[in-house]
Structures are given as C-alpha cells and as structure tokens.
A and B are shown apart, each in its own frame.
Chain A
Amino acid sequence: MGEVRRGEGEVVVTGVGVLSAFGVGVGALMEAAYAGRSGFAPVRRFGVEGRRVRHAAVHPGSPVLADELPRIIGLACDQAGLSAAQRGRAPLYLAVHGDPDLPRVPAHERAAHGSDGFARTVARRGGLSGAARAYTSACVASSTAVADAAALVAHGRAERIVVAGGYLVDADQFAVFDAGRALARDGRVRPFSAGRGGLLLGDAVVAAVVESAAAARERRAEPLARLAGWGRAGDAHHVCKPRPDGAGLARAIGDALRRARLRPERIGYVNAHGSGSPAGDTAEAAALHRAFGEAAADLPVSSTKSVHGQGLEAGALLELVVTIAALRAGRLPVNAGWLGPDPDCRLGLVLDEPAPTTAAYGLSLTSAFGGANTALLVGTP
C-alpha cells in the first residue's frame, strides 16, 4: 500500500446550514454544546410504547426530510453567497438512509423511490443542478461525501460541491436501534464515561458548501474553514462491532494528517465519534492513543453527541459543523453526561465547561457499522 495522495488545490467550506433538536442555525446548536445542555426528551413524534427506551433529541413538530433538506441547502448556499446561477451548476452529494417513503409505498412503486432519485429531487428543489448522488454508508455517509467532494475539488475537477445529510428521528430506525439494545436506558449519552450505556438518536439536517479556495477568492467569499485533510479506512473486523485496537480509525487519522501535511501535535481538538456505546468509545480511545501516542491523554476531546444525539447518515456533517464553529470561536464544546473516569478512555476530555483554545486545526472522527472509519481535518481559514 502506497501513501495517500491528493490534488494540489486548497479546499474550503464557505457556507453551512443546520437543523438540530435545538432549532435551525449553528448558533442554537453551539449554545447547547457549550452549556452541555442535552436535547434528550421522551419522543412524541411517534409512538414509543413498548420500547425499552423513549428518549431522543428531536426538533419540535414533525419536520419532513424532503422539505427540510432543500431549505437547509438554501441556507448554506445563502451563507456562501452563491448566486442562483452558481447554485444551478453545483452538484449535490446527499447522505441519507434512503427515501423515507420507500418502505410504505405500494410494491409496484418502490423502484421509483431510490436514494439516487431522492437525491436528484432534493437537488432540484434546493436550486442545485440535477447532478446528485446519494451516500448511504450509515454513520460515515456524510463524512465520506465530504471526503469525496474535497478530493474532487482538490483535483480541480469541481469548483464547488454541495454536501448535505439528513436524518429525522423516525419510528423505524428507533425500533431497530431499540431492538438491538443500542439505546441508553438512562436517557443520556455519556461518551467515554464510566457507566455509559449506549447511544440516543437525534435530528440532523445539515448542508455545507465545499469549494475550491481559488474559486472562493475569485468571488470574494469568506471561507469558514479549510478542509485540510481527510482519511478513511476499514476495520475488516465485524459486521457491527468496532475493532478493539482502533487500528482502522487510527489509519484514517494518519491519512488525514498526511494529506494535510501536518504533524499530530498540530491538532488541538478532536470532535470524537463518541457514541456512548461501551465498546465503541473504548476502541476510539485506543485509536487516539495509536495516532497521538501518550499525548492523547491530554488532547482536548469531546463528543457532542452527548448533546445533539446520533444523527446517523447526517451525524458526521453535523459534527463537522460543530468542529468548524468551535475552532472559529476559539472555544471547545463540552463532553456532556460524564459521570467519572473510565481507565480505558484516558483522553483530555473537555468537561464541565467550554475550554478556550488557540488551535488552528481540529479533527472530526466517525465510525460506522461494517468497520468504516473516517477522519476529517479542519483548519481555521
């Protein structure tokens, strides 16, 4: 295996849009993330009678994914300052479980409800070009979409690509996660903590404009952040359990650092996958120790899933937005829900209150079923 490569072009993010349990906007999300105020509450959007767990972090009401995605894409494009013509040329990479209608349409209509068609419809409604593709790789779907978009922009094959992801907590996924005993029975997500009991789902509809730095400069757009590096690697270990030694995630981190041409000590913040699952968090801590050595014990880390929940296909993009906002503010969000140390998770967790930082670089990490791992390396502009 040779070294990872990339095109020479610099890649930036020029606009983002977010809907989370805390409403629309990055401000409301970050306010909760800094306060460590979780959005978990009993679900009223659908019946949870008979479930082991009843909590999730959901936006009020019953938002519809096919409506919210174009709206949030519009907000990201607005922030990026894209004209209608520029939007109309931009492809969409959409991370999504699938067309939410698929399981309940009559059998003869199912073929018309593919994730690819859903992505094209969202793109058109969002004012983008019809060129769209769907990423369905569970929790790494949106980070993989960002990595692909960044790679193509770096090679100069696209001026800009809109990446979006959408998951709104629904009865079907809630039921399968509950049946799989993956949800936290105490109604809180406690990443890297002693006594953690699992994950909780959360709403996430997110969009980001990934653009060539040269194109952004030319139209005098102010970048929010640089996408300095990206990496992805597999565990080759299990259907759904992470590799306990974290080797796959550590390779993804190493590849992101190599693409960014940075040494590990330049990383000043890690927004961890930190799902709150006992095995997953231990494996991620092992990965961080592999990648950073003993420095991992003091490296500022938080999993903001403790506040906004697990956004599945859209989660990695939500957390990328949090990472960008934290670096820009020079203030790191807390790892909420923490009860006490777990000797297998020796990390520099940001606890109790936000930590000030002057770091120029941060990592957003994600792991998924099938042993899929991604690392996105963000730099201040």
Chain B
Amino acid sequence: MTAARSQAAAPPPALPPPPLSVRAGAAGLSVCAAGAWPEGPADGEPPQVPGFVVSSFSPLFAAAARRCLERRPEAAPDAVTAVVVVSALGDVASAVHVAAVVDAAGVEGGAGGAQGGGGLSPLMFFQAVPNAVAGHVAAKWGLFGPVVCVGDTAAGVEVAALLVEDGDADEVLLVRVDQATAGAGARDRAEAVLVSGGKAP
C-alpha cells in the first residue's frame, strides 16, 4: 500500500469519513433509518427553516433529519427519541457573521444605537448554539429525549449508545453537520441516522 502510494503521480484524495451508519453499527447500535443532504446532484441548497437566517447549518440539519425520520419504520407510540448533534465547529457561518458585525460596530463606535445588538438580527440569539435547530426538529417530530451536542463523531456515537443503554431514550437521532465555511475543501453536508438497541462499547 505504502509502495503503491509512493509511486503514484499525485497523492490519492483523502478518503471520506465512514458514514455515521457504519460508525453506529460498529458501536453495537442498530440503524433504523438514515438520510443526508445532499444525497445527489439534484440537491442544491437545503430548504430554508423559518426563523433561521444567514447560515446553512440549521437548514442542513433539518433536511437530513427530515429524510431520516421520514424513512423510519413505525416507532412504538411511546418511544422516546433523543437528539445528538455532532459538529466540531458548530454553526461556524453564524459565528463568523456575529464576529464580523460585532467588530464592525466596534470600529464604527456602536452602530447598534438604542436598538442594541450592534446591527445583529435578534434571530442570531438562539441560532448561535446547535441546540436550537435540535429543538426545532424535536418539536416538529415529537422527540422527547435528551438533547446533546458534541464536537466529534466518536463522542456522538458513544453518547447515543449510553443514552439507549441506560434508558434515557429508546432511540437516538444522531446528526452530523459540516459547513463549507469551515475552509478550503469543506462543503455543506449533513448526515442523520436513527439508532436504537445499542450496547455501549
């Protein structure tokens, strides 16, 4: 393998990370449904989510979650579903936007005036944290389990397995969001899986 690589004219492209379903399966969780945005070239911008502005983070999350939940087999009526969000950078587009507005207001000597917020939309208040869109999805789909946000996929899978093992939830909607704003080579993408019946590794 090493020899083959060293002989190649150009380094091979980095392998994409294994899908969430593979990671969840390896942790002993059973994958009930999966969805992503985009899933093919026909998927452009994800549909807007009312109340969320500026950033693709929440629309990506909601689109992948919707596809996953629409594909779920019929759940027990009293099943409790947790939401676990995986994102190393959080909503980085919103964070960059807030910083730019705050810095510009500082330069201009407080552009917010008596209205406050330094020119920020009041909507930025809640979308600054990944819980917000998790709450949006939880309310829409009746997901009454815990809401947890972590910075890496391994932690997300472990948290999901522990929630199911200890009875905090019957199943877990696990969603990973990555944004193009993260820098060169990054792209807007979200992946969601609904998992149950796990044993913590």
List residues of chain A with CB under 8 Å of any chain B CB: 1-6, 46-47, 49-53, 97-98, 102-104, 107-111, 113-119, 133-138, 140-141, 144, 148, 151-152, 155, 157, 171-173, 175-182, 231-240, 248, 251, 255, 368-372, 374
Contact = CB atoms under 8 A, between A and B. Distances in A.
Given A151-B166, A175-B101, 6 more contacts: A1-B80, A4-B166, A52-B117, A136-B129, A137-B130, A175-B105
B125 A1 contact: no
A4 B116 contact: no
A52 to B, nearest CB: 3
Interface in B128-169: 128-136, 138-139, 141-152, 154-155, 159, 162, 165-168
A236 B126 contact: no
A283 to B, nearest CB: 14
B120 interface: yes
A361 B138 CA distance: 32
A172 B120 CA distance: 10
B111 interface: yes
B90 interface: yes
B18 interface: no
Nearest to A174: B102
Contacts of B116: 50-53, 178-179, 181
A229 to B, nearest CB: 12
The 10 A-B pairs of least Cβ separation, nearest first, read A180-B125, A179-B117, A50-B110, A370-B135, A114-B88, A370-B131, A52-B116, A134-B151, A49-B110, A103-B99
A114 B135 CA distance: 23
B96 interface: yes
Contact of A4 (B120, B133, B138, B167): B167
8 contacts: A4-B167, A47-B110, A50-B105, A51-B112, A178-B116, A233-B80, A238-B135, A239-B135
Contacts of B103: 104
A237 B151 CA distance: 25
A366 B38 CA distance: 35
B95 interface: yes
Contacts of B136: 239, 370
B132 A369 contact: yes
Interface of B: 51, 78-80, 82-83, 85, 87-90, 92, 95-96, 98-99, 101-103, 105-106, 109-118, 120-122, 124-126, 128-136, 138-139, 141-152, 154-155, 159, 162, 165-168, 170, 181-184, 186, 200
Contact of A172 (B98, B133, B146): B98
A181 B122 contact: yes
Given A104-B99, A175-B98, A234 B121 contact: no
A239 B51 CA distance: 9
Given A111-B89, A136-B90, A140-B147, A234 B83 contact: yes
A109 B183 contact: yes
Contacts of A374: 146
A251 B167 CA distance: 13
Contact of B146 (A46, A234, A369): A234
A138 B131 contact: yes
Contact of A371 (B101, B109, B139, B148): B139
Contacts of A180: 117, 122, 124-126
A110 B92 contact: yes
B135 A50 contact: no
B82 to A, nearest CB: 7
A97 B129 CA distance: 8
Given A50-B105, A97-B129, A239-B139, A172 B80 contact: no
A115 B95 CA distance: 13
Contacts of B132: 239-240, 369-370
B125 to A, nearest CB: 2
A102 B186 CA distance: 15
A47 B32 CA distance: 50
Given A104-B99, A152-B162, A369-B135, A115 B120 contact: no
Contacts of A155: 200
A151 B105 CA distance: 45
